[in-house]
Amino acid sequence: MPAIRSARLRRALPAAAVALALLVGAAVWLAWPESAAYTTREQVLTVRSGPAGDEPVDLDTTLYLPADRSGPVPAVLLAHGFGGTKQSVHTDAEDLAGLGYAVLAYTARGFGRSGGEIHLDSPDYEVRDAQRLLDWLAAQPEVRKDADGDPRVGVVGGSYGGGLALLLAAQDQRVDAIVPMITWNDLARSFLPESTGGDPVDGVFKKGWAGLFFGGSAGVGALEGDSALEESGAGLDLGEGIGLDPTCGRFARDVCEMYQRTATSGRATPEAVELLRRSSPATVLDRIKAPTLLIQGEADTLFPLSEADANARGIAANGTPVRVAWFTGGHDGGLGPQSDRDRTRFLTAQWLDHYVKGEGEAPANSFTWSRVAGFNAMDRGLVTNGYSVDDYPGLTGTTTQRVTVGGPPQPIANPPGGNPAAISTLPGIGSLGAAASAAGGLGGDLPGQHAVFQSQPLDQAVDIAGAPTVSIRAASPTGEAVLFVKLYDVAEDGTATLPGGIVAPVRLTGLPTDLAQARAVTVTLPAIVRRVEAGHRLRVVVATSDQSYATPTEPALYTVALDGDGVTVPTIAGEPIPTTAVLWRWVLAGLVAAVLLGLAVVILVVRRRHRRADSSIVEEYAQTPLVVRQLRKEYADGFVAVSNVDFTVARGQVVGLLGPNGAGKTTTLRVLMGLTQPSGGEIFVFGHRLVPGSPVLSRLGALVEGPGFLPHLSGLENLKAYWRATGRPEAEARLDEAIEIAGLGDSIHRKIRKYSHGMKQRLAIAQAMLGLPELLVLDEPTDGLDPPQIAEMRRVLKRYATDGRAVLVSSHLLAEVEQTCTHAVVVNKGEIVASGPVEEIVGDSPTVRLDVSDVDAAEAVLDRLAGVRSVATDGSNGLVVDINGTARSEVVAELVRAGVGVDRVVPRRRLEDAFLALVGDNSRGSGDR
């Protein structure tokens, strides 16, 4: 499921901007809690399910309870995606608990540490398991009940968990609301699609996704992911499946055999379709009474938008409240940009709060969707525009537009053995066409295996939102053909993009050998959201092969043609969804214009002052990377996060910024990066006073708010996209050097979705190093890394602080700061309590390590000294001596007089000791902002 994460609200605008906001109003998304207090309860629950309800299975669960509750609270049953475990959704569980819900996250049977076999959300197994979990929730005193045995509960889940939510709501009327995300309607049709509306028995087998979803290895062990998009197959761990049948893993035998037969023949039997439909919401939609919010991804070749459409229509037919939302992510597009996550997060909370918690007005059953709008340099990712209409229009849109597409009949060859095959999509990756066509080609379509029908350049832009349709005719010497129909957006330079990488597979039978006798067949193309700009062309491609699907192995030559003169595309006339502020109606236009004019004047004055301030250099600091003087940050509510901070970062230094939670470290870094304005004091970067937009910021690189990357791009592509967004020449990026310093190696060419947490953190460091800025500012760069990765990060930072560069790093790992940093600044309660070289802060120690020539003789001498409290051996020639009250020189002199050689004397005090001495018991602070 799309991760439910809190987004920090932007700080207050200047007075003129606040007045404007009050005048025009603002549409603000829900601010989810950042660190809500909750408690957890880990427990393995044994439930009984199966056809007769008597088969025990152990389920690994965690119950999250909000700490701030005055009585029983409503509950959420949180289900994970295929290949995942309860850990995959722990972040979502934390945030839902922060909203006041008791959240039961669990690992489904067949995954992770839970027992049992995978039955694909079978009503007899996985669904009954979930019913027993509802029974357990009803028995917990912390959970609100509607009646005995009936908990007040919503069910949330993505993909595999979304299918569970739908099937459970149909089977158990105790469910009060559901939020299924990126999930299926008909599992048979999902894996055996037929774009002319035919039976899945005649569908084209989606072998790529099926291999990941059903393959024996996919059911073994656990994928400890951080979202419900585990179906991409990355990183499946077979460790817990050792000893299982390698053919079927943890799949039930009937599911395993069904997959093997279908994958071998490339065709489904009626029995296979029946088994898949046993796990399909399509068969039970008329029984779902729980209000349903359906969230579906626009970049999804596994469960496309048509699956949510079928669910919505089936549930709404019974009068059940239904709302549909599309977002730009999905199984091929990940979680989507932040703007999409904000929107789906808001909709989810709104839905649960009303229908489960009983708060707020009933959400409108309107329809929302989004479209990629561009690349945001600050957020380092794509941004989207959201739109809405009052009533869900389905896949046919509110209106349609006919685009003339022409071309003669064309012969196309089906390759023997189905190889070589075109590559339009790969599971979990999406469209490769854009990359392949960058050189002017036709994406992954192969010569001789596809026909092209193209429009003239469009006179005006066309906003496609829904499922286009096109009619084709085909002839075949065998009487049959499997074809793949695609709709490309072709730019003026010839670049062809296949939106979402989605194709329409068609199996045609009863075909004549003569095209003149062929009947027209209407093909419904996959639903997409795409703005085709004026001057672009629409291209319909009909191909004979596709890497992701099973095709006939016998070679054949088909003839295909369009029937009619073009393609019909649906459009939706929707209203933009405001994301920051919206204007009132035209009656306020004059007043708003006046306020805007005044605001513009204020901005011009401020910019002029900033330019004037930036143009002056304080010569004393001109060669110093960073000077902070009397920095203060006080918030509107009176909270003082930073009261008086002074420190300097010189060239060649790695400076550690230390302090307990709430001391002011993060606030200091946020002020330094311009993310919040100081209340007082000054910051100088190479002698320039730091102001927003100052050119001197180009000499500074930072990682403060955490890394954010596009999962479908490689590490190198992410770095290049980020640098292009800065508007600076590519030659200045110093890509190779940043990659070398960060130690990324060949992994820089891998997709981000394949990166470990440590690799993402290292890539974030490389991104901050682009252009090799002279000052690098990092907030917790080792967060989440394991010990070897931390050691490598230590080497990275030391390598960087050469050639006159400097590093400022905030960290809570004192041992790492001691080994990495040359200097340290200790902050406590918003003030500096110590600063300087690390060895000076550590200071003298009453405990020393002595390297001596004779350990036994030295021990005998030290045991006689009154000022020595304890002696312990440390290695073959070392002693650790606590010289309580005795001078270090006297101890050494006594050993020498006794004929014991002393090679080295090393203080044993650690930075941690000095740190605790400086900050005392203040380990929690007042909460950093």
Is residue 422 domain-shared with residue 551, that is, in the same domain? yes
> CA-based angle 43:47:53, to the nearest 5?
175
Choose the most confident range, by mean pLDDT, from 154-168, 742-756, 765-779. Answer: 154-168
Contact 202, 195 (CB under 8 A): no
User: What six digits make up the tokens of 164?
Assistant: 């569970």
Residue 288: give its domain's CATH number.
Answer: 3.40.50.1820
Task: Reply yes or no on whether the pLDDT at 282 is more than 60.
Answer: yes
Residue 852: give its domain's CATH number.
Answer: 3.30.70.100
| Residue in this structure with the two tokens 């005193």, named with its chain if needed | 141
Is residue 25 domain-shared with residue 94, that is, in the same domain? no
Residues 6 or more apart in contact with residue 788 via CB below 8 angstroms: none
- Quick one: which of 32, 36, 28 has its CA closest to 6? 32
Is residue 96 domain-shared with residue 152, that is, in the same domain? yes
Is residue 180 domain-shared with residue 86, that is, in the same domain? yes
Residue 189 banded pLDDT, cuts 50, 70, 90: very high
Lowest mean pLDDT among 102-111, 213-222, 514-523, 660-669: 213-222
Is residue 140 domain-shared with residue 252, that is, in the same domain? no
Domain count, the chain: 6
> CA-based angle 348:352:358, to the nearest 5?
150
In this prediction, residue 493 carries a pLDDT of 86
Average pLDDT for 177-198:
91
pLDDT digits (tens, 9 = 90+) for 431-443: 443 343 333 334 4
Is residue 269 domain-shared with residue 287, that is, in the same domain? no
Domain boundary among 821, 841, 861: 841
Is residue 160 domain-shared with residue 61, that is, in the same domain? yes
Q: What is the residue-averaged pLDDT of the chain?
A: 80
Residues 6 or more apart in contact with residue 332 via CB below 8 angstroms: 297, 299, 300, 301, 302, 425, 427, 428, 429, 430, 431, 500, 501, 712
Task: Reply yes or no on whether the pLDDT at 30 is more than 90.
Answer: no
Length, in residues, of the chain: 929
- DSSP letters spanning 255-324: HHHHHHHHHHHSS--HHHHHHHHHT-GGGTGGG--S-EEEEEESS-SSS-HHHHHHHHHHHHTTT--EEE
> Which range marks the domain in which residue 499 is found?
399-575
* H/E run at residue 914: helix 911-919
User: Does 927 fall in a domain?
Assistant: no
Domain boundary among 575, 602, 629: 575
User: What six digits make up the tokens of 705?
Assistant: 């708010």
Residue 709 banded pLDDT, cuts 50, 70, 90: confident
Is residue 765 domain-shared with residue 888, that is, in the same domain? no
Is residue 516 domain-shared with residue 626, that is, in the same domain? no
| Residue in this structure with the two tokens 């339009």, named with its chain if needed | 424
Average pLDDT for 332-355:
85
In this prediction, residue 509 carries a pLDDT of 92
pLDDT digits (tens, 9 = 90+) for 871-880: 888 777 788 8
On the CB side of 535, how many CA atoms lie within 13 Å of its CA? 5
Distance CA(489)–CA(454), nearest Å, equals 10
Is residue 630 domain-shared with residue 571, that is, in the same domain? no
Query: Given the DSSP bridges, would you call strands 425-426 and 75-79 parallel, antiparallel or unpaired?
Result: unpaired
Query: Given the DSSP bridges, would you call strands 410-414 and 556-571 parallel, antiparallel or unpaired?
Result: antiparallel
DSSP summary character for residue 75: E
Enumerate the β-bridge partners of residue 640: 634
User: Does 499 fall in a domain?
Assistant: yes
Residue 848 banded pLDDT, cuts 50, 70, 90: confident
Residue 373 banded pLDDT, cuts 50, 70, 90: low
Query: Given the DSSP bridges, would you call strands 292-297 and 322-327 parallel, antiparallel or unpaired?
Result: parallel
In this prediction, residue 335 carries a pLDDT of 77
Task: Reply yes or no on whether the pLDDT at 229 is more than 70.
Answer: no
Is residue 521 domain-shared with residue 633, that is, in the same domain? no
User: Does 924 fall in a domain?
Assistant: no
Is residue 270 domain-shared with residue 154, that is, in the same domain? no
Contact 778, 626 (CB under 8 A): no
Domain boundary among 348, 373, 392: 392
Residue 499: give its domain's CATH number.
Answer: 2.60.120.260
User: Does 226 fall in a domain?
Assistant: no
Residue 181 banded pLDDT, cuts 50, 70, 90: very high
